[in-house]
Structure 1
Amino acid sequence: MKNSKTRTVILLICGIIVAAYCLMNFIILPLYTRHWQRVQVPDVTNLSLAAAEKILRHSKLVPMRGEIRFDDAVPAGYTIFQNPVANSFVKKGRRVYLISSKGKRPVTVPQLVGTNMRDAQFSIVQNQLIVGRIAYESDPYYPDGVVTAQSIAPETEVMAGSVIDMTVSKGETMGGLFVPDLYGLTQDKAELLLKRSLLTKGRVSFLESANVAPGLVIHQSLQAGERAARGDSVHIILSKSPQAEALSW
């Protein structure tokens, strides 16, 4: 009799425990957590921000734009990462933070002018750029095979894979130089300009002039714009005051 009562008590206790578990698990906890309001987070990575936001709103979630990072694999404006992650369960109205891509990291265009063509090509490829059209022109300043111009200025930031065109010197051709305009310059400035133009200062003479300040060029033996060869001499005449004595070098 006593054993029967004990068994009944044990069964009663077990029944109470099971009932309490079911009550807690299926009624109280869902009421507390609003389990019926939980939704599964969709996967919106590798989608455009606009598409990702539309899908999240449709799922009763709130999209929030977060950090923007460089990414070589994901195009600019597309999502890289989301938090909470895809397929997790959250309450309706939960914020989902989106990290998006701003595309590939830009690269800097190297200095090519003044380097030989082979080094310039290597530098272009090394900086994740593409060698474009190469034009060849005669140039009085740069020797044969040296880059004289580039299509994009150095230190410019561009996208990897951008094309860089170059102009390469064929060296100087005979008669390929032009005589600079020396009129009104001092002797020192005239000599410097001739040197930069790969020409040589010739004879310097003086002539009285009432219209031009003393010491300035009033005549040159080769006219401005005239073609000349490297090293050609250009004679100049400088003005002097009418009362000064004539000099000739």
Structure 2
Amino acid sequence: MILAVAFDKLLMPWYVGEPEARVNNVVGMTYEQAEEVLTNAKFQPVNGGIRYDQKYPAGTVILQKPEPNTTVKQGRRVYLIVSGGEQMLEMPNLRLKSLRDANIALSRLGIILGTVTEDTSNYVPRGAIMEQSIPNGSKVGRGTVVNITLSSGKPLGDIDVPDVVGKSLSEARRIIESSGLKVGKISYQVSIDLLPNTVVLQFPRSGEKIKEQSVVDIFVVREKVSEQTIRDF
């Protein structure tokens, strides 16, 4: 009975008697500015927490409840959500990862894989990432582009082109292949002074330096045509 009387005589007049007003729009203001505006309008500003939002600078109000221009009793609490600014991410370590694994890891964070180039390496296996344009552990925002360099394997060594001029075709082939090179185009030409299948010219010339598994083109003496073959023809 006493509680009922107290509510009727004290609380109800206070609640009913509070005038109504429209809630000020404080979105875009700093929290301090919003707090001052709402307090002057006889509302109670309450910090409702932080939310990362790259559209608003850190410390700026991005959301309020009740919403702006809502008519409520003065003295009501107005909850303010404040921007934490752009959420910064930690760049992962991509070294030694495959291109596929790196792409998956970056996509999950919202980081974009940019240019992919290749280079030789004595230590990083072929197909693995050997360099990244942004060091791992760096703080970056979503949408940041990182470029990577893939290993194409160990560099091919420089080899001196062997001299096969004057050698038979079979011997020239053996020498070239045992040097880590390949026999390229074989062209034939007529010679009255040299035996058939003798190498008379090569390209690149002997002594030049070329990469391993490069090709060496050779020119070989054609088989002689006999007089009998000419008469039959």
Question: With structure 1 as the length reference, what TM-score do the two structures score?
Answer: 0.44
